[in-house]
């Protein structure tokens, strides 16, 4: 079984902000493969919106923690423990302020680099041995305001267009990782 997690904040006021790109990516996966993944449903035990499916021959859980970003690890740990998922079978989609807007990176066994949602997952799992699909959000504005404000502000129209294109690109990378393996996908997309 594989667990694919998108990081974000559940409140509507955070929609279309850089910090919610993980949610956006998971919504796109679910839409793209709607015949395999039903609509998300809130699961109280995991405090997450969940869509369970099988694609093509693997059981996969799509999860959007509803804990708010900085506590994402609680939700991920609960799902991991219940389904006995190995950390290396967990893929996390999230924004990354160290990468320019539009750039993507796939990484494994790497530190949080200041991302509190990722740090929460590392802390709760007790390991960095999971896969991360990082989506760059850095723009010139990121240098002018505190990062905690930057990640929660709405995208401008032009930045939103770049972010939308990047989400499509990260889905291609996800497909490559599923078909070819993480290492080959990293060589193709990093």
What pLDDT, on a 0 to 100 scale, did the predictor assign at position 143? 82
Q: Contact, 94 vs 167, CB < 8 A?
A: no
User: All domains of the chain, ordered by start, with CATH?
Assistant: 2-189 (3.40.50.1470)
What pLDDT, on a 0 to 100 scale, did the predictor assign at position 30? 95
Q: Residues 19, 94, 115, 169: which is the catalytic one?
A: 19
What pLDDT, on a 0 to 100 scale, did the predictor assign at position 183? 95
Among this protein's residues, is 19 annotated catalytic?
A: yes
Beta strand spans in the chain (E): 2-6, 41-43, 48-54, 59-65, 90-100, 104-108, 131-138
What pLDDT, on a 0 to 100 scale, did the predictor assign at position 170? 95
Residue closest to 117 by CA, chosen among 27, 170, 48, 174: 48
Residue numbers in the chain where pLDDT is lower than 50: none
Burial class for 12, CB neighbours closer than 10 Å (0-12, 13-18, 19+):
exposed
């Amino acid at each position: 079984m594989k667990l694919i997690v998108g990081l974000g904040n559940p409140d509507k006021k955070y929609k279309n902000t850089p910090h919610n790109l993980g949610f956006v990516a998971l919504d796109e996966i679910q839409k793209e493969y709607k015949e395999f993944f039903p609509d998300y449903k809130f699961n109280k035990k995991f405090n997450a919106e969940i869509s369970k499916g099988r694609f093509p021959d693997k059981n996969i859980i799509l999860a959007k923690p509803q804990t708010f970003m900085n506590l994402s690890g609680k939700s991920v740990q609960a799902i991991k423990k219940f389904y006995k998922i190995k950390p290396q079978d967990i893929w996390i989609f999230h924004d990354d302020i160290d990468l320019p807007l539009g750039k993507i990176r796939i990484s494994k066994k790497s530190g949080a680099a200041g991302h509190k949602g990722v740090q929460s997952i590392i802390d709760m799992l007790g390991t960095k041995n999971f896969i991360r699909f990082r989506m760059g959000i850095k723009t010139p504005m990121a240098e002018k305001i505190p990062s905690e404000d930057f990640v929660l502000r709405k995208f401008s129209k032009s930045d939103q267009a770049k972010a939308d294109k990047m989400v499509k690109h990260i889905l291609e990378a996800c497909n490559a990782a599923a078909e070819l393996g993480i290492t080959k996908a990293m060589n193709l997309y990093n």
